[in-house]
Amino acid sequence: MIYLIRHGQTEFNRERRIQGHVDSALTELGVRQAKAMGRLLRDLIRDSAGWRIVSSPLGRARSTAEIIADALKGPQVEFDDRLKEMSWGSHDGRLRAELETEHPETFGRTGWAFDAPTDGESYEDVQTRVGAWLAELPPEPERRIVAVSHGIAGRVLRGLYANLPRDEAGQQDVPQDAVFALLHGGVGRIDCEPMEQENPSLGQRR
């Protein structure tokens, strides 16, 4: 079993700013989301013995993973670069609205294309690294992993696990208040308890 989550809302998410490999802190809502995911995982796992928490080392994922580790009261957080978000290169840190105006081709017809500039990563780059991470895990049912990652990297990971076409993988939801269960080639979504959000649409950004 892999329980895959995305970090809680960040200041950049709230501003609709592309994060990539740059970082921003969790908002108050993001902290509450991380705590809610921690409580949900605690109820799902119950006994954390034998479980690992593996996180992207980027600060927003690290903070979320540490909150979850506190809720599970057992596993220490491990970090793996392969779970990092996709880098948009020179577009990292830019406002999405600016890029939509200056480089409308970046997001393609769906709004979630993987067309980073040449100094960033491609879909295939991200697929290769998350695929290598998946390949090193123990076989099912022995694997007991909580993975903390990001919007695009999580989409790619779920798509690779479930053998989805690229376009379908790129259209998956990226909630910040839910847990995805990856087991036997399938992906299931488990939502946290409802919580008030400043603006629900902001939870769908990277």
pLDDT for the residue 123: 87
* Residues 153 and 83 sit within 8 Å (Cβ to Cβ): yes
Q: Across the chain, what does the average pLDDT equal?
A: 89
Check: pTM over 0.85? Answer yes or no. Answer: yes
**Residue 104 binned pLDDT confidence (cut-offs 50, 70, 90):** confident
Nearest to 12 by CA among 79, 67, 92, 89: 92
Q: Per mean pLDDT, which range of 30-34, 96-100, 110-114, 166-170 is the poorest?
A: 110-114
5-9, 97-101, 170-174, 193-197: range with highest mean pLDDT:
5-9
CATH topology classification for 2-204: Rossmann fold (3.40.50)
Catalytic residue ranges? 7, 85
Token look-up 């308890």 returns: 193
pLDDT digits (tens, 9 = 90+) for 117-175: 668 888 899 999 999 999 999 998 899 999 999 999 999 999 999 999 988 998 899 99
Alpha-carbon span 64 to 179, nearest angstrom? 13
pLDDT for the residue 113: 53
Per-residue pLDDT averaged across 54-78, rounded? 97
* Residues 62 and 55 sit within 8 Å (Cβ to Cβ): yes
- Asked if pLDDT for residue 74 goes beyond 60, the answer is yes
pLDDT for the residue 206: 42
Q: Both tokens of residue 45?
A: 């796992």
Three-state SS sequence of 178-198: EEEEEECCEEEEEECCCCCCC
pLDDT for the residue 205: 39
Cα-atom radius of gyration of the chain, to the nearest Å? 16
